[in-house]
Amino acid sequence: MKILGIESSCDETAAAVVENGSQILSNVIVSQIDIHAAYGGVIPEVAARSHIEAIQPVIDKALSDAKLNIEDIDAIAVTHTPGLVGSLLVGTLAARGIAILHNIPFYPVHHLKSHIYANWLSGHQPEFPLLAAVISGGHTQIIYMERHDSFEIIGTTRDDAIGECFDKVAKILGLPYPGGPAIAKAAEKGNPDKYKLPIPKVDNLDFSFSGIKTAVLRAVQKELNLPITTPSYELQKHLNAQQIADFAASFQATAVKILLQKLKKAAKNHPAKSILLAGGVSANALLREELLKTFQNSHQVFFPEPKLSTDNGAMVASAAFYSIKSGEKASNPYELDISPRSIIQ
């Protein structure tokens, strides 16, 4: 089965063709990072307009790269929730139009489900039951899956998502957007033990990242002997390269420790054969390294290829394939609505 997957939930316009849920025939992504970097974050109106310009050329190239015509496509899948309203509209309207025009079965897909299924695109099949840590700019969740299309949220963030925290700490340190790659790069020359940052005490398997962001801010102010009223843009002027590297390394190490502590606790309480990472933060090299050290002797460990960690159409197509295998029926494209906020279920 060849599925055309379309993704436009935030700031990547993407389309891909995937065969039988795991073989990528094409994967085209147009990123808006350079556009939004000037603003230090995603501007929703700008993102939507950029999607409008890119969506049809991206779909055309995905078909061309796969050496297929639209008539060769067996199903169309599109991200319809959660995400930015304007961005979601562009992708879903394009997918609906193609499905209606060519009478192709149509499947709306939850964005977080897609990220989990990026792990089925790397050549190996995770075994159930499994634990998936979905970690991105907008989400931090631990999800327990006993089988395909069965999702139980057993831990979630109570405030900031981990990716959002990376962005905000990067801003404090004067590093560019997006914060995840910038902090990882700066941390390469830093000492992760230089600054002691607190581990939030949160019940059960939930997360809290707002406190560590504030802890970094206060630590920088203390290091520079500046009052707590000093804004972050003033702090950046006084930090030298080594201080930035040390703060980046200390924050990154603490964030990874928080994630692994919760995953270890989840693994004790939930029988799982596989541990998965999913979402943009899963590209973090230190996290991958520490995850392997922690679980490689007790579980199968999976994380997507770095190019599949961020938003892409291939993961959407893969998620749709396994939903179809699980018995999901095609949706009516005339009736599909988007939802900027929703939980995976």
What CATH number has the domain bearing residue 220? 3.30.420.40
In the chain, the number of structural domains is 2
What per-residue confidence (pLDDT) applies to 243? 97
Shared-domain flag, residues 156 and 36? no
Residues 6 or more apart whose Cβ sits within 8 Å of residue 101:
none
Residues 6 or more apart whose Cβ sits within 8 Å of residue 148:
128, 322, 323, 325, 326
What per-residue confidence (pLDDT) applies to 114? 97
Residue 254 lies in a domain: yes
Give yes or no for residue 180 having a pLDDT over 90: yes
Asked if 305 and 155 count as a contact pair (C-beta separation under 8 A), the reply is no
Shared-domain flag, residues 104 and 160? no
Shared-domain flag, residues 262 and 281? yes
Per-residue confidence at 144, pLDDT binned at 50, 70, 90?
very high
Name the amino acid, one letter, at 313: G
Report the DSSP beta bridge partners of residue 301.
275
Residue 164 lies in a domain: yes
What per-residue confidence (pLDDT) applies to 39? 80
Shared-domain flag, residues 112 and 136? no
Q: Which of 140, 138, 243 is nearest to 195 (CA)?
A: 243
Shared-domain flag, residues 222 and 279? yes
User: What is the rounded CA–CA span in Å between residue 281 and residue 292?
Assistant: 16
Per-residue confidence at 9, pLDDT binned at 50, 70, 90?
very high
Q: Are strands 23-31 and 12-19 parallel, antiparallel or unpaired?
A: antiparallel
Q: Which of 216, 214, 217 is nearest to 227 (CA)?
A: 217
What three-state secondary structure class fits 195? coil
Helices (H) and strands (E) in the chain, counts: 12, 10
Shared-domain flag, residues 191 and 226? yes
Residue 331 lies in a domain: no
Q: Which of 332, 334, 267 is nearest to 294 (CA)?
A: 267
Percent of all residues in the chain with a pLDDT value above 70, rounded to a whole number = 100
Peptide bond into 231 cis (omega under 30): no
What per-residue confidence (pLDDT) applies to 132? 98
Per-residue confidence at 345, pLDDT binned at 50, 70, 90?
confident
Residue 72 lies in a domain: yes
Q: Please, where are the H alpha helices in the chain? A: 33-37, 44-65, 85-102, 111-117, 162-173, 179-187, 210-223, 232-235, 241-269, 285-295, 306-309, 313-325
Residues 6 or more apart whose Cβ sits within 8 Å of residue 170:
176, 177, 178, 179, 180, 182, 183
What per-residue confidence (pLDDT) applies to 247? 98
Give yes or no for residue 124 having a pLDDT over 90: no
Per-residue confidence at 34, pLDDT binned at 50, 70, 90?
confident
Shared-domain flag, residues 66 and 165? no
Percent of all residues in the chain with a pLDDT value above 90, rounded to a whole number = 90
What three-state secondary structure class fits 79? strand
pLDDT, tens only, 70-101? 999 999 999 999 999 999 999 999 999 999 99
* Higher local confidence (pLDDT), 337 or 69: 69
Per-residue confidence at 344, pLDDT binned at 50, 70, 90?
confident
Residue 224 lies in a domain: yes
Per-residue confidence at 158, pLDDT binned at 50, 70, 90?
very high
In this structure, what DSSP letter does residue 130 have? E
What per-residue confidence (pLDDT) applies to 232? 81
| Six token digits for residue 16 | 């891909």
| Six token digits for residue 208 | 């809290």
What per-residue confidence (pLDDT) applies to 103? 98
Shared-domain flag, residues 51 and 138? no
What per-residue confidence (pLDDT) applies to 343? 85
* Higher local confidence (pLDDT), 233 or 302: 302
Residue 238 lies in a domain: yes
Residue 341 lies in a domain: no
Shared-domain flag, residues 179 and 278? yes
Backbone angles phi, psi at 321, to 5 degrees: -60, -45
**What average pLDDT score do residues 236-240 get?**
92
Q: Which domain holds residue 234?
A: 128-303
* Higher local confidence (pLDDT), 254 or 122: 254
Shared-domain flag, residues 164 and 262? yes
What per-residue confidence (pLDDT) applies to 302? 97
What per-residue confidence (pLDDT) applies to 255? 97
Shared-domain flag, residues 286 and 168? yes
Give yes or no for residue 48 having a pLDDT over 80: yes
Shared-domain flag, residues 171 and 53? no
What per-residue confidence (pLDDT) applies to 36? 87
Residue 336 lies in a domain: no
